[in-house]
């Protein structure tokens, strides 16, 4: 069973817009760092903050925000400055990432069987994620890149197809450019959208082999399509995966979720810290976390920075970039 998602509202006092700006950082960078490290969502309006995520991390984040806000108290007429490095150290000192683990039941990890072999979750959160997928109709995997969100979802879909629990797999993602203007792309429609969907193809090829995937695509047993193609459809007996969902709008997310038909299962993955939507447009993933957090048969799994399972050098590279980008003390 996935951890219960809690919503906690707090108010930082005394009200002071300059202190609030120091706490949040430029473009809310400090808040995004807390979200990324703890696997939670933070929204705020003036001094009122709302935290959404597993209970132990939400409580720890609330305490962290209050402590950091105290440090913004004016010194010699100016508010104290909260640097990203200070936020990083505060999270480390709180030992938040070590909490909530060690449950003996979590050791009984769920394995996913495909023809290419057994796929085993590599940590506690991945095991919870797999169990949630197997026991809920709609599942959200939220967290940083490299935590296995999409890979495990595709593995679960392949397993369900091979056990004939479903009749087809549908993989989709919004065709949003990641900070680049690609301009005109040559070719037919499939060739235009394939670059956006390549990560999904790669996971399928690894689990089923290139030739079988091609045959299943020809028979429409596996369909890979941009999110815009979902409008107006009802998807029965299907395993549906929406990848990169942080780049959906609120309207697109609602449209996708209302496509789910009988005997279908949906997995929605995304990283709320890597939104490529135009500035000022709210991510559908952020919005849906607030809307569906208490809905039955909907599960949320929040991954943290420590759950990254790619090549060990990837974690070191990420840490090096974070260290380099932090202001010098």
Token pair of 75, please?
């010194």
The domain tally of the chain equals 2
Mean of the pLDDT values across residues 241-261? 92
160 lies in the same domain as 309 = yes
32 lies in the same domain as 157 = no
pLDDT of residue 230: 85
Q: Could you tell me if 265 and 241 are in contact, meaning their C-beta atoms sit under 8 angstroms apart?
A: no
**Residue at a domain's end among 37, 67, 98:** 98
Q: Could you tell me if 35 and 272 are in contact, meaning their C-beta atoms sit under 8 angstroms apart?
A: yes
89 lies in the same domain as 109 = no
**Residue at a domain's end among 98, 117, 150:** 98
CATH code for position 277? 3.40.50.300
Predicted confidence (pLDDT) per residue in 195-241, tens digit: 767 778 888 888 888 899 999 999 999 998 888 888 888 888 999 99
88 lies in the same domain as 11 = yes
40 lies in the same domain as 146 = no
Q: Which domain holds residue 75?
A: 5-98
Q: Among the listed ranges 51-55, 226-230, 234-238, 253-257, which one has the minimum average pLDDT value?
A: 226-230
Give the rounded distance of the alpha carbon of 302 from its chain centre.
7
Which residues are 115's β-sheet partners? Answer: none
- Whether pLDDT at 153 is above 90: yes
Mean of the pLDDT values across residues 310-316? 65
**Residue at a domain's end among 59, 80, 98:** 98
Report the candidate in 185, 162, 167, 163 with the shortest Cα–Cα distance to residue 175.
185
- Whether pLDDT at 78 is above 80: no
Check residues 93 and 233 and name the one with the higher pLDDT.
233
92 lies in the same domain as 179 = no
81 lies in the same domain as 109 = no
- Whether pLDDT at 76 is above 90: no
169 lies in the same domain as 236 = yes
84 lies in the same domain as 115 = no
Query: Would you call 328 helix, strand, or coil by DSSP?
Result: coil
Question: CA 98 → CA 103, 133, 305, distances in Å?
Answer: 12, 24, 12
pLDDT of residue 104: 42
Predicted confidence (pLDDT) per residue in 104-138, tens digit: 444 444 678 776 677 878 778 888 899 899 888 89
CATH code for position 24? 3.30.1370.10
23 lies in the same domain as 58 = yes
119 lies in the same domain as 164 = yes
Mean of the pLDDT values across residues 12-17? 90
Token pair of 239, please?
């395993």
**pTM greater than 0.75 (yes/no):** no
157 lies in the same domain as 20 = no
């Amino acid at each position: 069973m996935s951890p219960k998602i809690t919503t906690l509202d707090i108010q930082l006092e005394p009200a002071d817009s300059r202190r609030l700006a120091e706490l949040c950082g430029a473009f809310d960078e400090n808040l995004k760092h807390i979200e990324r490290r703890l696997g939670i969502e933070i929204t705020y309006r003036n001094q009122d903050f709302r935290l959404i995520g597993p209970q132990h991390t939400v409580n720890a984040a609330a305490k962290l925000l209050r402590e950091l806000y105290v440090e913004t108290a004016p010194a010699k007429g100016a508010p104290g400055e909260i640097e990203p490095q200070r936020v990083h150290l505060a999270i480390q000192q709180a030992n938040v990432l070590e909490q909530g683990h060690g449950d003996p039941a979590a050791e009984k990890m769920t394995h996913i069987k495909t023809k290419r072999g057994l796929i085993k979750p590599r940590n506690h959160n991945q095991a919870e994620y797999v169990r949630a997928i197997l026991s809920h109709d709609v599942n959200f995997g939220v967290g940083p890149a490299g935590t296995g969100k999409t890979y495990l979802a595709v593995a679960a879909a392949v397993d369900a197809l091979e056990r004939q629990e479903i009749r087809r797999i549908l993989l989709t993602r919004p065709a949003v450019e990641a900070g680049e203007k690609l301009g005109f792309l040559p070719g037919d429609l499939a060739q235009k959208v394939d670059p956006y969907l390549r990560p999904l193809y790669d996971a399928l090829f690894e689990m089923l082999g290139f030739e079988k995937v091609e045959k299943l695509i020809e028979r429409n047993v596996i369909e890979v399509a941009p999110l815009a193609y979902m409008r107006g459809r009802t998807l029965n007996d299907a395993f549906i995966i929406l990848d990169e969902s942080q780049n959906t709008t609120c309207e697109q997310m609602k449209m996708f979720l209302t496509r789910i038909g009988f005997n279908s299962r949906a997995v929605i993955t995304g990283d709320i810290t890597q939104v490529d939507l135009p500035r000022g447009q709210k991510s559908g993933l952020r919005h849906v976390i607030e809307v569906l957090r208490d809905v039955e048969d909907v599960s949320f799994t929040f991954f943290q920075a420590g759950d990254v399972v790619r090549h060990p050098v990837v974690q070191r590279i990420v840490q090096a970039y974070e260290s380099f980008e932090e202001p010098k003390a």
